[in-house]
Structure 1
Amino acid sequence: MNKIVALDIGGVCLNLRFELCREYLGGAGAEEVPTQLLAASDQYERGLLSEKDWLEIFTSVTEGRFTEDELRHAWNLIIGDAISGMPELVNDIVNAGFRAIFFSDTSELHLMHIYRNLPFAHLVSGGIYSFKVGSKKPEDKMYESFQEEYGRPYLYTDDKEENVAAGIKHGWNSRKFVSAAELRKELASIF
């Protein structure tokens, strides 16, 4: 048995707060996010656009109203607090002799923020990230990259059905994340 639990980050380990980013920038609804910024952010999270180039686009769509540091701050506002029960659960996973591994669509900027602020990030012993792979879930390349680096996980959890389905397609024991308590039940046999 491969003693690895693969964890998505946003919606599993921490809450995502897109609305705080929009509010900081002066907008209220998702419909106000320019298509150009959404496309650039997707490319940035795939590692296909540098932070510098992404910031140039972000500056352009916000009409130069913010400094680069303010734009980084706005972007990092998306990263919220730990989901209730996850710090304790990840600690228990590690204490049971398993490795917790991040498996996430994210940017380098967000990942640095996560490692500085997520209270249990120090317990996570590695990760596969979209910005390094050049692909995003549920694309095969993400799952193949995880398997090349870590093998097939004992359990994979994600809050998005399509990502869970892709895990199952790759032969992974995959579960949709509902709560830390539900995930703990799935992992009861290891404790």
Structure 2
Amino acid sequence: MTFLFDIGKVLLDFHFEPSLAKLLPPGTPDAMQRLMVLLEKKDDFEAGRIPVEEYVPWAIERLGSGVPHDDFLHAWRNIFTPVEPMWRVVESLAAGGHRLILFSNTNGIHCPWIFENYDIFRHFPEAVLSFEAGSIKPEPEIYHHAIGVHGLKPAETRYIDDLPANIETGKQLGFRTWQYDLNDHPAFERWLAAELMDGEPVNR
């Protein structure tokens, strides 16, 4: 079977704000506003419309702290924790010979860094990454890109993501989908068991 896996909140949990907040000048009164400005441009950054060499100095200037380039990269990257129950699933699927493909909105600061620092990604020889594809989920373009580049048949491809809008586009294009909830991993395991038995399609 072929599986498309989102990264954030599926394979890796993440929290941007606490890490980036450490870069703000002490006592910054509008700290949350400054962080939100950075994240408002994240979609353009992750769609590849803003290159790393442009985004990073812009973000440092908006933070107002004059932090070194490498300190910003460190803060931007060190936001992740493994979703260990899902890692165990991936290990099992890989051992079973299933085809595993990453399908994620991400950026040139996180990649290839996460692949070099989290061992789980060795099980994903294929990937569709938004900043390389030039579009982001839930835009249909990135799904069509995945279908074309990887020769996918949506009706035979299981797609796991945490965001309702992303899942909805997947459903519209015929993928067999599951909206993953970090707080209810057993529900995902039940769905997966049914899929592996090749039962009736179950979308959620």
Q: Does 1:165 align with 2:163?
A: no
Larger Rg: 2
Match of 2:35 among 33, 52, 64: 33
SS at match of 2:175: coil
CA displacement at 1:114 relative to structure 2: 1.3
Tell me by how many angstroms 1:112 deviates.
1.6
Find the counterpart in structure 2 of residue 11 from structure 1: 9
SS in 2 for 1:187: helix
Deviations 1:88-140 (A, max 9, x none): 11011112221111100000221222102223110112111110111111000
Question: How far apart, CA to CA, are the structure 2 residues paired with 1:184 and 1:29?
Answer: 40
For residue 39 of structure 1, report the CA deviation from its aligned partner.
Answer: 4.1
SS at match of 1:108: coil
Within a 5 Å distance, the mapping from 1:99-138 to structure 2 comes to 99-138=99-138
**Number of the residue aligned with 2:190:** 185
| Amino acid paired to 2:98 | F
For residues 81-100 of structure 1, the aligned pairs below 5 Å read: 81-100=81-100
Instruction: Name the Cα RMSD after superposition.
Output: 2.0
Q: Which amino acid in the other structure matches residue 82 of structure 2? A: A
8 Å CA contact retained: 1:41, 1:54: no
Aligned equivalents of 1:97, 1:129: Cα separation in 2:
23
- Extract unaligned runs of 5+ from structure 2: 198-204
Confirm whether residue 42 of structure 1 aligns to residue 47 of structure 2.
no
Q: TM-score, normalised by structure 1?
A: 0.89
Task: Using the aligned pairs only, state the percent identity.
Answer: 24
Deviating more after overlay: 109-118 vs 99-108: 109-118
Structure 1 34/172 Cα, relative in aligned 2: closer, same or farther at 3 Å? closer
1:4 shift after superposition: 1.0
1:87 is aligned with what amino acid?
Answer: W
Amino acid aligned to 1:93: L
SS of corresponding position for 2:136: coil
CA distance in 1, matches of 2:123, 2:113: 16
Give the residue type in structure 2 aligned to 1:20: P
- Which residue is equivalent to 1:147? 147
Give the C-alpha shift of residue 66 in structure 1.
0.4
Spell out, residue by residue over 1:146-165, the C-alpha distance to the aligned partner (whole angstroms, 9 max, x if none).
11122025210111011111
Matched, 1:63 2:64: yes
Q: Is the 8 A contact 1:82 1:119 kept in 2?
A: no
Contact 2:34 2:63 in 1 (8 A): no
AA matched with 2:188: L
Which 5+ residue runs of structure 1 have no aligned equivalent? none
- Separation in 2 of the partners of 1:20 and 1:147? 36
Amino acid in structure 1 at the alignment position of 2:158: L
* TM-score normalized with structure 2 length: 0.83
Secondary structure at the counterpart of residue 75 of structure 1: helix
Q: Distance in 2 between matches of 1:171 and 1:46?
A: 23
